[in-house]
Amino acid sequence: MSIRISVSENKIRVLHWTKTEQEMVMTKHNIPEGEHESQVDIQGVEIGLMLPDQFHYEWIGQQDVMDQLLAAWFVLDEHDMPLNPRLVGKPGVGKTTLACAAAKRLDKDVYIYQCTMDTRPEDLLITPVIDKTGGIRYVASSLVTAMIRGGVCILDEANRMSEKSWASLAPLLDTRRYIESIVAGLKVNAHPEFRICVTMNDDASTYEIPEYIHSRIQPQIFLDFPEAEEERRILRENLPFIEEHIMDYVVNFLQKAHAANANFTVRDGINIARYAAKRIQYLKAGNQYEGLMRQAVVMTLGEEALDYLP
Ligand SMILES: Nc1ncnc2c1ncn2[C@@H]1O[C@H](COP(=O)(O)OP(=O)(O)OP(=O)(O)O)[C@@H](O)[C@H]1O
Ligand SMILES: [Mg+2]
């Protein structure tokens, strides 16, 4: 396999990537500074590409799960290949954030594909759309864009997808590392730098993952609630403008909830702190702090959360 990339004045990029049977030629024309190319030519078919997601937060604490993910993506030598880990844990515990932050540590673009019950195989791969002239144009999903660019794809909340959609990913997730788009009549190989992980939530609106897919999305990385000090730093990272006593209240609340194994996570804490701070400021009511904090908890999580007030 050989890869050749040439960039000249940020205007034209030609990337030849020859892989035993397949040759992909991608051409970029007149790209304005700071933007990504939006069209590539694969085996004579023009394909529109997605832009990567922007991600600005740092991953705080829990170094073990970050190391587990980076090790799964690590490639030992040219005969090795990356694993396709699945990140599991309660909603709001930090799965998507961890995957984005890991991509950032590898200095790779990240492409998030939000899976739903309605996701069809062609949505995951390449979709035909009508162009301005009434002709057909093909557009790659964020997953296929990441495959072509050598970025990171996060299949977010992947167990909301049906088996039919998973089936289209089987060759990508084993040693073949390609997808077949029936719609565009194309087979697209993943760039060697391409990495993928899936995140999963355990709730009522999810499907069972078929066994042959389950064995392809390994290892399983479990995210647990953070310790108090880590939780405080996460809140600070997300809400740098919020007063310390609001922060203390929310961290104490969350830690009490975690100790009882309640389903409240740092995302709930961020929402409570943000709303409480807005109301205190808006009403200019710093003297009603206790009452407004309590209301912010109830309005965010309901009466059942009152058991864990600090
Ligand atoms: N270790 C961490 N470092 C920085 N931010 C974190 C961390 N853990 C959680 N967060 C913050 O918590 C919030 C929820 O995280 P995230 O959206 O990644 O959770 P999730 O597990 O993907 O949730 P869902 O299952 O609902 O998709 C985000 O605002 C994120 O920034
Ligand atoms: Mg998520």
Mean pLDDT of the 139-147 span: 96
Q: What is the pLDDT of residues 264-300, one digit of tens each?
A: 999 999 999 999 999 999 998 878 889 999 999 999 9
Of all atoms in ligand 1, which is nearest to the CA of residue 93? 21
CATH code for residues 63-222: 3.40.50.300
Percent of the chain with pLDDT over 70: 87
Question: Does the C-beta of 206 come closer than 6 Å to ligand 1?
Answer: no
- Find the 34 Cα to ligand 1 centroid distance in Å: 28
**What is the model's pLDDT at position 7?**
35
**What is the model's pLDDT at position 295?**
96
Residue nearest to atom 18 of ligand 1 (CA): 94
| Beta carbons of 295 and 306 less than 8 angstroms apart | no
Confidence of residue 205 (pLDDT cuts 50, 70, 90): low
Q: What is the pLDDT of residues 87-97, one digit of tens each?
A: 999 888 999 99
pLDDT at 178 over 70: yes
Can you read off the two tokens belonging to residue 63?
A: 């170094």
Looking at every residue in the chain, the average pLDDT score rounds to 87
User: Which of 1, 110, 137, 104 lies closest to 52 in space, CA to CA?
Assistant: 110
**Nearest ligand for residue 63 CA:** 1
**What is the model's pLDDT at position 223?**
95
pTM for the structure as a whole: 0.85
Per DSSP, the residues of 140-166 read E-HHHHHHHHT-EEEEETGGGS-HHHH
pLDDT at 22 over 80: no
pLDDT at 142 over 90: yes
Q: Chain-centre distance of CA 98, in angstroms?
A: 8
Residues 6 or more apart whose CB falls under 8 angstroms from that of 48 comprise 38, 39, 137, 138, 139, 140
| DSSP at 263 | S
Question: Does the C-beta of 57 come closer than 6 Å to ligand 1?
Answer: yes
Mean pLDDT of the 104-128 span: 95
| DSSP at 306 | G
| Beta carbons of 25 and 16 less than 8 angstroms apart | yes
> Could you state, in order of their start, the residue ranges of all structural domains in the chain?
2-48, 63-222, 228-308
Can you read off the two tokens belonging to residue 201?
A: 């939530």
Q: Which residue has the higher pLDDT, 21 or 289?
A: 289
Question: Does the C-beta of 159 come closer than 6 Å to ligand 1?
Answer: no
Q: Chain-centre distance of CA 300, in angstroms?
A: 25
Q: Which residue has the higher pLDDT, 307 or 14?
A: 307
Helix, strand, coil % in the chain, rounded to nearest 5? 35, 25, 40
| CA separation for the pair 279, 302 (Å, rounded) | 18
**What is the model's pLDDT at position 196?**
98
Confidence of residue 215 (pLDDT cuts 50, 70, 90): very high
User: Which of 230, 256, 255, 288 lies closest to 94 in space, CA to CA?
Assistant: 230
Q: What is the pLDDT of residues 231-265, one digit of tens each?
A: 999 999 999 999 999 999 999 999 999 999 998 99
Question: Does the C-beta of 270 come closer than 6 Å to ligand 1?
Answer: yes
